[in-house]
C-alpha cells in the first residue's frame, strides 16, 4: 500500500514546497542532507528556507547565531538541491517578525515602536537598506535562485510610530509598506528574481493598490486551521482569496504539516493539518495557484520556545505530500505514511520520537493540572482558612513531583533521539523550556504552603516517629529479669560443615559482587560525565555558543571551575564529587586530603580541533568526545584542554573500567567504548 503513495501520476499541485524554519531546532548539516533526499522521494519540488540567525551573515556579526551554517555548507546545500532538482526559495523577513535584526542595539533606532523588536520603522532611511543588504548577502551565496520570499506578515504595529501615523494619514498604508520593501523589490526584479510575500497585510488594501503590487510580486495566502474554502475562518477565509484572485494576483497557498498546533505543542495534529491541506489542494486548480508550501514552524516567533521537532512530524509531511500529489487523502491514512517511511529507513526513528514526545506531553500536561489544583487550594485557603491543613496539598505535591520526574526522564530520552540530528544545545533548550516552568511553580507553591501552615498531623507523627522505637525503661528492666534457658551448642562436625558451606558461598558470591560493584562504578562514572557534559553545554549557551574558553582567554581559570555553577546539586560535597570517577583512587585520595585542585579531577577535556571556538563548529557532536575518563601519561594536570594527538594511556589493561572507557560527546550523550582506538575517535570527530 505504501508503495502507491507517490505512483507515477500527474501531480494535482504544480509546485509542492517544504518550509524549513531555522529559527529553532536547527538540524546538523549531515542530517539536513539526509532530509533533502527524503523530501525529493516524497515528491516535493521546492524548499522555502527561512534562514534567520542560522545564515552566515557578513553584514553584521550579531545577525549570525551560534548554530549558523558555514558559508561552505550553504554552497554544499545549494549543490545538493541542484542535484536533486529542488528549487531553493530563500526567506528574509523585511517588515514584521524582524526580531533577529531589531533586538540588536545597533539597530534599535530602526524599530517602529521603541519597546518592540518585531516591526521595522519604514521611514527611517536605514530600514529599507538593511533589508536590501541582507537579501544581497544571501544572493552572494545563492545566486541561482529564481524566487525570493520577503515575509511581510503580522505587522501588527505598522503605522503606530508618530511619523508613520502622519505619513499614513497623508499617503495611505500601502505607501508606507512600499517605502520599506520597494528598494529590495527593485533589486530582485532587476535580476529577474520574482519576489513573494505573505498576503495578510496586502489583502486589507483597496483593489487598485493590490493590482499595482501584483505586477511586481506573488502573494502567498497562508492558513493552517480549517478549510480555506470556508467563509468564516481567519484571515485566509475564502472571500479574501477571491478578492486577491480577482485583482489579478499570482497566488500561492500555504498549509502546515507541523508547528501550528500551539506554541508549545510537541506533536502535530496530523488530521487537522490534512483537512486544511485538502482544501488548498482543491483550490489549486480552481484558482490557478502557482504552488502550495507546507510550512513547518520551529517557533511561533523569534522569542518563543521551540515547537514540534521535524523528525517527529515526518508522517504528517508524507501525508501532505500524498494529498498535494493525488488531490486526496492516501488510502490507509497515516499508517500508510508510516509504512512508506519504514521503506525509506525512517520509520523506527519516527516511532521513537513519537513515543518520547507522547510521554513528555502526558507528564507535562498532568503536572500543569496538579499545579492548577494547588493554585486553587492556595486561593481557597486564603478565603476559607478554616478549611486549611487537610493535608490534601501534600498528596498533590507527591503526584506533581512524580509527574515532573517522569517528564524529566522523557526529556532525557528526547535529547538522545535528537543527538546527531539537531545542533547542540538546542535539544537541551527544548527539554528545559518544558521542565523549568514546572519546577519554578512547584518551588513557589511549596514555599507558599510551608510558610503559612502548621505541621499536619502526619508530619507531626513523622517527627515523633523515633519515640516509638525507644524501649521503655520498665520494659528494659523486665526483659533483663526474664528467665532464660541455656541452648545446646554446635557439635564440631556441624561447625565444620557450616564453615565449608560458607567458604563455598564466599567463593561463588565474591566475584559476582565484585563484578556488580565494578559495573555500578562504571555507571556512576557515566552519570558524572553526563552531568559534566550538560553543564559544559549550559556554560556555552550562557556565552552565546562559545566553548569552554580556557586557556584561550582566561589564564588560570580551569574548565571545571567554569562549569561548577551549572552542576545541579544543593550539596557542595556532592557537586565536587561529580568530578571524581569511583575507579580513580588517586583523585579520590586527593579530594579527601585537600591536595591541589586539579589532582582531584578524574576527567579530561578534549578539543579535537584547536580551531573550534563555538558549538556550531562541531559538525558531528554525537560522536565527538568532549570528556573522557582517562589521564595524560606522566601527569595529572587537567588545567588545559588537550589535542587528540597527545597520547593517553594506550594499554587496555590501564583503562579504569576494564577494557573500556566512558566518553561524553558534545551533544551531552555518553557512551562506553571497549578497547578504544583514538585514531577512530579522531576520524569520527573531524
Say whether pLDDT at 162 is over 70: yes
Taken in order 322, 323, 329, 333, the sign of the CA dihedral is positive
pLDDT for the residue numbered 114: 96
Check whether residue 245 and residue 292 sit in a common domain.
Answer: yes
Say whether pLDDT at 684 is over 80: no
268 domain residue, yes or no: yes
Confidence band of 492 (pLDDT split at 50, 70, 90): confident
Check whether residue 322 and residue 399 sit in a common domain.
Answer: no
Check whether residue 338 and residue 397 sit in a common domain.
Answer: no
Check whether residue 337 and residue 382 sit in a common domain.
Answer: no
365 domain residue, yes or no: yes
For residue 42, how far is the Cα from the chain centroid? 25
pLDDT for the residue numbered 548: 74
More confident residue, 222 or 502: 222
Check whether residue 333 and residue 362 sit in a common domain.
Answer: no
pLDDT in tens, 576-590: 678 888 887 777 776
Instruction: Provide mean pLDDT across the span 398-402.
Output: 95
Q: Which residues form the domain of 375?
A: 357-457
Buried b (16+ CB within 10 A) or exposed e, 261-288: beebbbbbebebbbbbbbbbbbbbeebe
Name the pairing type of β-strands 251-258 and 15-21: unpaired
Check whether residue 549 and residue 656 sit in a common domain.
Answer: yes
Say whether pLDDT at 41 is over 70: yes
End-of-domain residue from the set 342, 369, 394: 342
Say whether pLDDT at 673 is over 90: no
Check whether residue 338 and residue 364 sit in a common domain.
Answer: no
Check whether residue 252 and residue 333 sit in a common domain.
Answer: yes
Confidence band of 232 (pLDDT split at 50, 70, 90): low
What CA–CA distance (Å, rounded) separates 123 from 182? 12
pLDDT for the residue numbered 20: 98
**CB contact at 8 A, 51 and 24:** no
What CA–CA distance (Å, rounded) separates 334 from 317? 10
Look up the CATH number of the domain holding residue 230: 3.20.20.80
470 domain residue, yes or no: no
Check whether residue 315 and residue 449 sit in a common domain.
Answer: no
What CA–CA distance (Å, rounded) separates 674 from 681? 12
Confidence band of 346 (pLDDT split at 50, 70, 90): very high
Say whether pLDDT at 394 is over 70: yes
Check whether residue 290 and residue 194 sit in a common domain.
Answer: yes
pLDDT in tens, 123-159: 999 999 999 999 999 999 999 999 999 999 999 999 9
Instruction: Provide mean pLDDT across the span 66-70.
Output: 93
Say whether pLDDT at 620 is over 80: no
Confidence band of 595 (pLDDT split at 50, 70, 90): low
Check whether residue 333 and residue 373 sit in a common domain.
Answer: no
Domain count, the chain: 3
Q: What single string gives the DSSP state of each residue in 351-396?
A: HHHHHHHHHHHHHHHHHHHHHHHHHHHHHHHHH-GGG---SHHHHH
477 domain residue, yes or no: no
Lowest mean pLDDT segment, chosen from 31-45, 310-324, 387-401, 479-493: 479-493
> 0.85 exceeded by the pTM?
no
Say whether pLDDT at 87 is over 80: yes
6 domain residue, yes or no: no
Check whether residue 170 and residue 30 sit in a common domain.
Answer: yes
Instruction: Provide mean pLDDT across the span 340-368.
Output: 96
Residues whose CB is less than 8 angstroms from the CB of residue 37 and which lie 6 or more positions away in sequence, other chains included? 84
Write down the residue that cell numbers 533586538 correspond to.
Answer: 103
419 backbone dihedrals φ, ψ, rounded to 5°: -55, 125
Q: Please provide the average confidence, as pLDDT, over all residues in the chain.
A: 84
Dihedral (C-alpha) 584, 587, 590, 592: value to the nearest 10 degrees? -70
Confidence band of 569 (pLDDT split at 50, 70, 90): low
Closest CA to 604 of 588, 620, 582, 581: 581
Lowest mean pLDDT segment, chosen from 87-91, 125-129, 414-418, 535-539: 535-539
Q: What single string gives the DSSP state of each residue in 169-222?
A: HHH-HHHHHHHHHHHHHHHHHHTTPEEEEESTTGGGS-HHHHHHHHTT-EEEEE
Say whether pLDDT at 559 is over 80: no
Percent of the chain at pLDDT above 90?
A: 55
Number of neighbouring beta carbons within 10 Å of residue 195: 22
pLDDT for the residue numbered 681: 55
pLDDT in tens, 94-119: 999 999 999 999 999 999 999 999 99
Dihedral (C-alpha) 360, 366, 372, 374: value to the nearest 10 degrees? -110
Taken in order 255, 259, 262, 265, the sign of the CA dihedral is positive
Say whether pLDDT at 349 is over 90: yes
3-state secondary structure of 675: coil
320 domain residue, yes or no: yes
Amino acid at each position: 500500500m505504501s508503495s502507491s503513495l507517490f505512483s507515477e501520476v500527474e501531480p494535482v499541485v504544480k509546485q509542492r514546497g517544504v518550509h524549513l524554519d531555522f529559527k529553532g531546532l536547527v538540524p546538523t548539516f549531515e542530517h539536513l542532507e539526509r532530509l533533502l533526499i527524503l523530501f525529493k522521494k516524497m515528491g516535493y519540488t521546492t524548499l522555502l528556507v527561512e534562514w534567520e540567525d542560522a545564515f552566515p551573515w557578513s553584514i553584521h556579526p550579531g545577525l549570525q547565531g551560534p548554530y549558523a551554517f558555514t558559508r561552505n555548507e550553504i554552497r554544499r546545500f545549494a549543490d545538493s538541491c541542484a542535484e536533486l532538482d529542488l528549487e531553493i526559495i530563500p526567506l528574509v523577513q523585511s517588515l514584521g517578525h524582524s526580531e533577529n535584526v531589531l533586538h540588536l542595539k545597533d539597530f534599535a533606532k530602526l524599530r517602529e515602536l521603541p519597546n518592540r523588536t518585531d516591526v521595522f520603522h519604514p521611514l527611517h532611511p536605514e530600514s529599507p537598506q538593511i533589508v536590501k543588504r541582507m537579501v544581497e548577502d544571501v544572493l552572494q551565496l545563492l545566486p541561482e535562485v529564481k524566487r525570493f520570499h520577503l515575509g511581510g506578515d503580522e505587522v501588527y504595529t505598522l503605522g503606530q510610530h508618530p511619523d508613520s501615523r502622519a505619513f499614513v494619514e497623508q499617503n495611505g498604508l500601502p505607501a508606507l509598506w512600499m517605502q520599506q520593501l520597494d528598494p529590495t523589490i527593485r533589486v530582485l526584479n532587476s535580476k529577474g528574481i520574482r519576489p513573494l510575500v505573505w498576503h495578510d497585510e496586502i489583502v486589507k488594501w483597496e483593489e487598485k493598490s493590490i493590482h499595482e503590487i501584483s505586477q511586481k510580486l506573488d502573494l502567498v495566502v497562508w492558513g493552517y486551521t480549517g478549510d480555506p474554502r470556508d467563509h468564516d475562518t481567519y484571515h485566509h477565509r475564502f472571500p479574501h482569496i477571491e478578492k486577491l484572485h480577482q485583482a489579478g494576483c499570482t497566488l500561492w497557498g500555504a498549509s502546515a504539516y507541523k508547528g501550528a498546533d500551539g506554541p508549545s505543542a510537541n506533536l502535530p495534529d496530523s488530521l487537522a493539518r490534512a483537512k486544511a491541506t485538502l482544501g488548498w489542494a482543491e483550490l489549486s486548480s480552481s484558482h490557478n495557484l502557482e504552488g502550495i508550501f507546507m510550512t513547518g514552524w520551529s517557533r511561533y516567533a523569534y522569542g518563543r520556545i521551540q515547537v514540534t521537532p521535524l523528525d517527529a512530524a515526518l508522517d504528517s509531511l508524507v501525508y501532505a505530500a500524498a494529498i498535494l500529489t493525488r488531490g486526496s487523502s492516501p488510502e490507509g491514512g497515516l499508517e500508510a505514511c508510516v509504512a512508506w517511511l519504514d521503506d525509506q529507513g525512517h520509520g523506527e526513528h519516527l516511532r521513537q520520537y513519537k513515543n518520547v514526545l507522547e510521554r513528555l506531553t502526558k507528564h507535562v500536561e498532568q503536572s500543569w493540572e496538579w499545579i492548577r489544583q494547588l493554585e486553587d487550594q492556595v486561593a481557597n485557603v486564603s478565603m476559607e482558612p478554616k478549611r486549611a491543613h487537610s493535608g490534601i496539598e501534600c498528596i498533590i505535591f507527591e503526584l506533581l513531583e512524580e509527574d515532573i520526574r517522569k517528564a524529566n526522564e522523557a526529556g532525557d530520552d528526547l535529547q538522545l533521539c535528537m543527538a546527531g540530528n539537531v545542533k547542540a544545545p538546542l535539544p537541551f533548550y527544548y527539554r528545559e523550556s518544558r521542565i523549568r516552568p514546572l519546577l519554578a511553580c512547584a518551588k513557589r507553591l511549596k514555599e507558599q504552603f510551608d510558610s503559612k501552615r502548621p505541621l499536619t498531623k502526619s508530619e507531626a507523627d513523622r517527627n515523633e516517629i523515633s519515640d516509638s522505637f525507644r524501649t521503655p525503661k520498665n520494659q528494659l528492666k523486665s526483659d533483663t529479669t526474664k528467665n532464660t534457658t541455656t541452648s545446646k551448642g554446635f557439635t564440631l562436625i556441624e561447625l565444620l560443615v557450616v564453615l565449608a558451606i560458607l567458604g563455598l558461598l564466599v567463593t561463588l558470591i565474591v566475584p559476582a559482587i565484585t563484578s556488580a560493584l565494578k559495573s555500578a562504578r562504571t555507571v556512576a562514572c557515566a552519570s558524572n560525565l553526563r552531568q559534566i557534559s550538560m553543564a559544559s553545554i549550559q556554560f556555552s549557551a550562557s556565552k552565546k555558543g562559545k566553548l569552554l574558553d580556557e586557556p584561550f582567554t582566561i589564564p588560570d581559570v580551569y574548565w571545571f571551575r567554569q562549569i561548577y555553577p551549572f552542576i545541579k546539586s544543593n550539596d557542595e560535597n556532592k557537586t565536587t564529587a561529580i568530578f571524581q570517577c569511583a575507579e580513580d583512587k588517586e583523585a579520590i585520595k586527593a579530594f579527601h586530603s585537600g591536595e591541589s585542585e586539579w589532582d582531584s579531577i578524574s576527567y579530561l577535556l578534549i578539543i579535537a580541533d584547536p580551531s573550534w571556538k563555538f558549538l556550531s563548529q562541531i559538525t558531528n557532536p554525537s560522536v565527538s568526545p568532549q570528556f573522557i575518563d582517562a589521564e595524560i601519561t606522566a601527569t595529572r594536570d587537567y588545567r588545559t584542554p588537550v589535542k587528540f594527538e597527545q597520547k593517553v594511556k594506550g594499554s587496555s589493561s590501564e583503562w579504569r573500567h576494564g577494557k573500556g572507557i566512558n566518553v561524553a560527546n558534545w551533544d551531552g550523550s555518553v557512551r562506553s567504548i571497549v578497547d578504544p582506538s583514538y585514531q577512530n575517535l579522531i576520524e569520527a570527530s573531524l
